[in-house]
Amino acid sequence: MLYSFYRMEINKQAPAYYQTSITIDVPIEIVWGIVSDIASWPSWNSDVENVDLHGPVTPGTSFKWKAGGATIQSRLVVVEAPYQIGWHGATMGIKAQHVFKLTQQGTQTVVTTEEAYEGLVSSILRKYLRKVLQTTLDKNLQSLKTVSEQRAGTPQ
């Protein structure tokens, strides 16, 4: 796997921005295996209906996916196993940036995810889209925690 040796930074000043974290009681490799398996996102992320990945999971690879009723055209920007995966995407006049950052702390993994929406639609629907990001990212991290701990056999 090719790596991008920099940290992807999200525009925290975007009209809609949200960051959240969760601690998962499994080693980083298990969580990385789930978040980096883009084609399998629908198996744990209830917002993702389908994914069409157009190549290996490396920077520059594009993928088309449907989430929340919208079809999104995205491109991987950073893939640094097992620490970070991030992409840019666009749909319905919204330009999005998203990143998962993983940090090993003992036998646990801290996952931080950030997403930002830019563009005219994001400026107009700023409050609504901020709430959507908060609800969606919090729910998705909880799902990631559940699936990761189930895979590792960690008692719930």
Going from the C-alpha of 30 to that of each of 117, 122, 129, 131, the distances in angstroms are: 29, 34, 31, 29
Query: Do residues 96 and 120 lie in contact, with contact meaning Cβ atoms separated by under 8 Å?
Result: no
Q: 37-87 pLDDT, tens per residue?
A: 999 999 999 999 999 999 999 999 999 999 988 999 999 999 999 999 999
Amino acid in the structure at residue 127:
K
Whether 2 is covered by a domain: the verdict is no
Confidence (pLDDT) at 1 = 37
Residue 18 has pLDDT above 70, yes or no: yes
Q: What is the pTM of this model?
A: 0.92
Structure tokens at 41: 């996102």
Whether 138 is covered by a domain: the verdict is yes
Give the count of domains, the chain: 1
What is the arithmetic mean of pLDDT over 140-151? 97
Confidence (pLDDT) at 9 = 83
Q: Rounded CA gap, 48 and 68, in Å?
A: 7
Look up the CATH number of the domain holding residue 106.
3.30.530.20
Whether 11 is covered by a domain: the verdict is no
Q: Which residue segment(s) compose the domain that 69 sits in?
A: 16-150
Whether 32 is covered by a domain: the verdict is yes
Whether 6 is covered by a domain: the verdict is no
Q: Rounded CA gap, 156 and 68, in Å?
A: 28
- Nearest alpha-carbon partner for 11 in 135, 123, 136: 123
Whether 1 is covered by a domain: the verdict is no
Whether 51 is covered by a domain: the verdict is yes
Residue 102 has pLDDT above 90, yes or no: yes
Whether 77 is covered by a domain: the verdict is yes
Answer with the residue of higher pLDDT: 86 or 8: 86
Average pLDDT in the chain? 93
Confidence (pLDDT) at 154 = 73
Q: 123-138 pLDDT, tens per residue?
A: 999 999 999 999 999 9
Structure tokens at 11: 């525009």
The dihedral sign for the CA sequence 38, 88, 94, 15: positive
Confidence (pLDDT) at 2 = 40
